[in-house]
């Protein structure tokens, strides 16, 4: 077995080992064997992660011959499993040449089981259930076929809402394979294209190219590796510390020795030097004939010394896990660059069913030496490519086979002498050497010449940065299992500890602070709160005066997390920052802020996030209840409260025909702060309220009425509301628009 060099065992680690061995309850852990250099602060132990389950067989659609769903094209612009803003792409996108109105067909015999309309997400979508239980879905439609559209409009007109999510009775609408069901559009998420999904009986998305649709796509082009990222992990806790991006060079096409198949693309990324464990991520894409579009890779693997240490394939995933894209990809690089680097290792909390097999969770924690790492990418048509990376692991090679106890005893006594005295050091060193020799085998990897340790847990979140943790005032510190109680109002922590049912609850009593002469922090004082959070425990982080409260649901975070929340006030409104920040969550958080008396009840305030690259403010929400304003938070990221008293701008209406040939009234509206709230925006013609649709790309409100034909002699009244509640009401008399 090999160990790192002597310098890797710091004074601090020796003391940890010493006191650990003196405890009868403690066995040696990896953290006790290896610690980073002196001066490191104590690190939380890795969370014990549940063993992952692996799939071995691709999912095929048994004997179902599907019709290509549109006459627009047979060219894909996106494939299954691609990176999206907040989730994995659950289907394929078909090119419609920037136009709307191409026909959309039923891919197989089926009944309409669901209809959706609205300005977000899938937009206008129709779902068919087929005889084998599978479900097909076509989305972003301009409109449905005439009978289905009339049915949807009757429901929308009755409710006066353009958005609808309806489950018709079974066999209300049935279609044969090839029947017209709608027309392509750009509703929901534009630009114009057709989004198609196939789902199993449990409504879980499957890769559509596992079906007969694959035969309609021409592809003999191999995937390509654009860049690799080496993600450096902490040597003992495996927290992500930093990353470096490598750009490769194409090399001559050759023969793949391992599998005996021709590799159509090969890229050499050179040599990288590491001094501890690393995870590898790749920016890669697939291609197809006749298009410049870039797709997700279907299958990817990592090979070290002809041993496959990681293998994944994008066959399917449940919708309940589509947000785990942030764990499957390297989310720090995604936030920094916008590029979806695919991880070749798995962090805690990631239980996507993509991973076929792996060793050490895909983490490379090499013994000192030089290793060739091969990354292989394959598309669903069998085209493949690979990249080569040489990893040079630094450190002194130490052989323990001959005299492990003597070496460890001598080495440890050198460090202990300086702390406990020479006499004690001799005996302690001898004891430690013997004890370590007995325990090291329990952490030895199955291939000790390559890997130092087995890796069972890789934290999903990084630790707070050292520089920002060092502050000139104490933290209010709340343990992970504690729901913070209202009486914890002051800033000085840990002054009274009460044991309750075997758990230490840090409780700070007002009377204790007053008795000691401590005073509450002045209003609007900057404050930092450190919290240690665990999955499965709901928590509320708050400032000492509780003017800012962050509610974290029990299932919100993917893994154990230590986070610092800082609140700074300006003009009575807070700016809230987090360290670490930009962290994905599985369930929305809830932010509550009590506004100062200087903010009147009729003044509008919204919660805004910042785009990680452009810095542009992004509206999150603004639910007002008295002096409180609330908003969901889709990630643990910096937010700021901003006053918004500007009402939306309304332009002169226009009259035109839609793609169905029906006359509609369109009104351009704009709000550059909190945006348009389509559910609270309406158009009336001569006092008659119709269906008011909203196109977020064109920023248009569109008036539609099944039985009313608009003309310019009618009065138009436009009511528009923005996200924080500012409202514009504009009337245009007949003949004046």
Confidence at 332, pLDDT banded by 50, 70, 90: very high
Burial track 276-289 (b if 16+ CB lie within 10 A, e otherwise): bbbbbbbbbbbbbe
Residue 250 has pLDDT above 50, yes or no: yes
Model pLDDT, residue 495: 33
- Torsion angles phi and psi, residue 643, rounded to 5: -80, 135
156: pLDDT strictly greater than 60? yes
The one-character DSSP state at 275 is S
Q: What is the mean pLDDT of residues 591-614?
A: 91
Helix H or strand E encompassing 507: none
Pick from 500, 502, 556: nearest CA to 531: 556
Residue 525: the pLDDT is: 78
Mean predicted confidence (pLDDT) in 360-372: 94
The two tokens of residue 57 are: 């067989």
For Cα atoms 598, 530, 642, give the angle at the middle one, nearest 5 degrees: 30
Q: Is residue 452 scored above 80 in pLDDT?
A: no
**Secondary structure (3-state) at 497:** strand
Contacts of residue 542, Cβ cutoff 8 Å, sequence gap at least 6: 484, 488, 529, 548, 549, 550
Give the mean model confidence (pLDDT) for residues 229-257.
Answer: 86
Q: Give mean pLDDT, residues 600-607.
A: 91
**Count of all residues that appear for the chain in the document:** 737
Predicted confidence (pLDDT) per residue in 396-417, tens digit: 554 434 444 444 444 444 444 4
Q: What is the pLDDT of residue 3?
A: 36
Rounded to the nearest angstrom, the gap between the alpha carbon of residue 404 and the centroid of all alpha carbons in its chain is: 45
Is the pLDDT confidence value at 465 over 50? yes
Q: Please, are residues 236 and 459 in contact by the beta-carbon 8 Å criterion?
A: no
Angle, helix 422-439 to helix 404-420, in steps of 10 degrees? 140
Is the pLDDT score of 705 beyond 70?
A: yes
- CA–CA distance, 60 with 130 (Å, rounded to integer): 16
pLDDT class of 345 with cuts at 50, 70, 90: very high
**Residue 270: its pLDDT value, please?**
96
pLDDT attached to residue 85: 82
Alpha-carbon torsion angle 332, 334, 338, 342, nearest 10: 140
- The burial class, CB within 10 Å (0-12 / 13-18 / 19+), for 133 is exposed
The predicted pLDDT at position 454 comes to: 83
Closest CA to 490 of 514, 526, 521, 529: 521
Q: At 580, is the pLDDT very low, low, confident or very high (cuts 50, 70, 90)? A: very high
Per-residue pLDDT band for 469 (boundaries 50, 70, 90) equals very low
Instruction: Tell me the pLDDT tens digit for each residue of 631-673.
Output: 999 999 999 999 999 999 999 999 999 999 999 999 999 999 9
Minimum mean pLDDT among 372-386, 405-419, 448-462: which range?
A: 405-419
Q: Where are the beta strands (DSSP E) in 434-513?
A: 476-478, 497-500, 503-506
CA distances from 197 to 133, 135, 138 (A): 14, 8, 7
Which tokens belong to 387? 């990249």
Tell me if residue 462 falls in helix, strand or coil.
Answer: coil
Percentage with pLDDT > 70 across the chain: 74
| CB-CB contact of 589 with 633 (8 Å) | yes
Residue 534 has pLDDT above 80, yes or no: yes
């Amino acid at each position: 077995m090999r160990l790192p060099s002597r310098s890797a065992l710091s004074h601090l680690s020796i003391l940890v080992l010493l006191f650990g061995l003196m405890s009868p309850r403690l066995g040696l852990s990896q953290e006790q064997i290896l610690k980073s250099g002196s001066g490191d602060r104590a690190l939380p132990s890795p969370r014990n992660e549940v063993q992952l389950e692996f799939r071995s067989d691709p999912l095929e659609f048994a004997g179902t011959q599907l019709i290509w769903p549109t006459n627009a094209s047979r060219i894909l612009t996106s494939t299954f499993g691609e990176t999206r803003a907040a989730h994995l792409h659950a289907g394929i996108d078909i090119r419609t040449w920037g136009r709307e109105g191409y026909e959309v067909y039923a891919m197989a015999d089926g009944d309409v089981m669901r209809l959706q309309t609205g300005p977000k997400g899938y937009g206008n979508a129709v779902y068919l259930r087929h005889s084998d239980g599978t479900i097909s879905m076509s989305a972003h439609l301009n409109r449905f076929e005439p009978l289905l559209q009339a049915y949807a409009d009757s429901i929308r007109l009755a409710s006066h809402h353009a958005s609808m999510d309806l489950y018709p009775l079974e066999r209300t609408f049935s279609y044969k394979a090839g029947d017209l069901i709608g027309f392509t559009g750009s509703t929901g998420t534009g630009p114009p294209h057709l989004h198609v999904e196939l789902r199993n009986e449990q409504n879980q998305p499957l890769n559509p190219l596992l079906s007969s649709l694959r035969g309609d796509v021409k592809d003999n082009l191999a995937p390509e590796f654009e860049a690799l990222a080496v993600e450096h992990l902490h040597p003992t806790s495996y927290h992500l510390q930093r990353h470096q991006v490598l750009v490769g060079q194409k090399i001559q096409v050759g023969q793949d020795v391992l599998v005996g198949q021709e590799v159509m693309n090969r890229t050499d990324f050179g040599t990288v030097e590491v001094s501890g464990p690393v995870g590898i991520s790749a920016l890669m894409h697939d291609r197809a004939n006749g298009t410049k579009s870039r797709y997700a890779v279907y299958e990817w693997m990592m090979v070290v010394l002809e041993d496959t240490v990681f293998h994944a394939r994008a066959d399917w995933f449940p919708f309940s896990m589509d947000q785990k894209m942030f764990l499957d990809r390297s989310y720090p690089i995604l936030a920094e660059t916008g590029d979806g680097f695919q991880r070749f290792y798995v962090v805690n909390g990631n239980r996507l069913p993509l991973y076929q097999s792996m060793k050490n969770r895909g983490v490379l924690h090499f013994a000192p030496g030089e290793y060739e790492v091969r990354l292989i990418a394959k598309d669903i048509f069998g085209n493949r490519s690979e990249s080569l990376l040489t990893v040079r692991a630094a450190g002194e090679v130490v052989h323990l086979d001959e005299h492990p106890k003597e070496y460890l005893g001598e080495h440890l006594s050198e460090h202990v002498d300086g702390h406990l005295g020479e006499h004690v050091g001799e005996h302690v060193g001898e004891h430690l050497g013997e004890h370590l020799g007995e325990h090291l085998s329990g952490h030895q990897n199955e291939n000790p010449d390559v890997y130092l340790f087995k890796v069972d847990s890789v934290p999903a979140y990084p630790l707070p940065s050292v520089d920002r943790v060092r502050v000139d005032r104490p933290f209010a510190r709340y343990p992970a299992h504690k729901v913070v109680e209202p009486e914890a109002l002051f800033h000085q922590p840990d002054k009274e500890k009460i044991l309750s049912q075997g758990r230490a609850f840090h409780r700070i009593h007002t009377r204790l602070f007053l008795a000691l002469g401590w005073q509450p922090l002045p209003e609007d004082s900057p404050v930092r709160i450190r919290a240690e959070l665990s999955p499965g425990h709901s928590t509320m982080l708050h400032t000492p005066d509780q003017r800012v409260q962050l509610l974290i649901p029990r299932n919100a975070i993917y893994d154990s997390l230590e986070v610092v929340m800082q609140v700074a006030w300006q003009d009575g409104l807070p700016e809230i920052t987090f360290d670490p920040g930009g962290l994905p969550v599985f369930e929305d958080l809830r932010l509550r802020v009590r506004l100062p008396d200087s903010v009147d009840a009729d003044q509008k305030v919204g919660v805004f996030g910042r785009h990680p690259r452009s810095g542009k403010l992004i509206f999150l929400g603004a639910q007002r209840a008295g002096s409180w304003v609330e908003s969901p938070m889709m990630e643990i990221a910096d937010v700021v409260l901003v006053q918004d008293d500007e009402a939306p701008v309304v332009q002169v209406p226009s009259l035109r025909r839609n793609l169905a040939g029906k006359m509609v009234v369109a009104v351009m509206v704009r709000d550059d702060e909190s945006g348009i709230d389509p559910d609270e925006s309406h158009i009336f013609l001569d006092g008659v309220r119709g269906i008011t649709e909203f196109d977020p790309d064109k920023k248009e409100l569109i008036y539609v009425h099944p039985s009313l034909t608009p003309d310019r002699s009618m009065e138009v009244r436009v009511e528009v509301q923005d996200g924080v509640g500012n409202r514009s009401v504009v009337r245009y008399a007949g003949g004046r628009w």
